[in-house]
Amino acid sequence: MRMAGGQDSLRCDYCKNIYFSTPDDSGVRYLDQLPKLPCPVCAVALWNATLAGIGIRACKRCRGTLVPMAIFEDLVEKLREQSSGTDNAAPDAHALDQRLNCPQCHEHMDTHFYYGGGRVVMADCERCSLNWLDGGALMRIVHAPQPDGAQAGA
């Protein structure tokens, strides 16, 4: 099977049927495994995946997500439009101590707080324009309380 048209499905080369995978509890649809792209946390192969119809890469084991910087804000806004609820969870006290390597270039990623809400620690690779978020971190950003006067999706 190969990824089909809009990247939200797989198409069988033999019978031409289209397969839509069932999303996990956070809405991620796993499509095909990327053997040469290791998860920076647990070192298993990442997967091409979609979340809210937007292409990302994700780890089935630790639930982390690798999101291109160019689509990160659009993904957060789209998820906020589809979501309700808030989350005030505090980040892990040792999250800033993580030393992760970029799955693409294998160089050290910068670890820092995400300042857009959600009390999330994330890693990024400026060379490859990629953001890494540990499992659950993206949804903490999505569910973070909005400043007074701001609306979800605005």
Residues 6 or more apart in contact with residue 116 via CB below 8 angstroms = 76, 141, 144
* Domain coordinates in residue numbering, the chain: 33-142
- The separation between CA 102 and the C-alpha centre of its own chain, rounded to angstroms, equals 14
Q: How many residues does the chain have?
A: 154
Q: Are 39 and 61 in contact (CB under 8 A)?
A: yes
Per-residue pLDDT at 88: 55
Per-residue pLDDT at 154: 41
β-partners of residue 66 are 57, 132
Per-residue pLDDT at 1: 43
Select from 99, 95, 90 the least CA-distant residue to 121.
95
Per-residue pLDDT at 13: 63
Of the given ranges (24-28, 38-42, 55-59), which has the lowest mean pLDDT?
24-28
Select from 128, 146, 4, 125 the least CA-distant residue to 76.
146
Question: How sure is the predictor about 144, in pLDDT bands with cuts at 50, 70 and 90?
Answer: confident
* Amino acid letter, residue 2: R
Q: Are 143 and 120 in contact (CB under 8 A)?
A: no
Range among 15-19, 52-56, 84-88, 129-133 rated most confident: 129-133
Question: In 10 A of CB 16, how many CB atoms?
Answer: 8
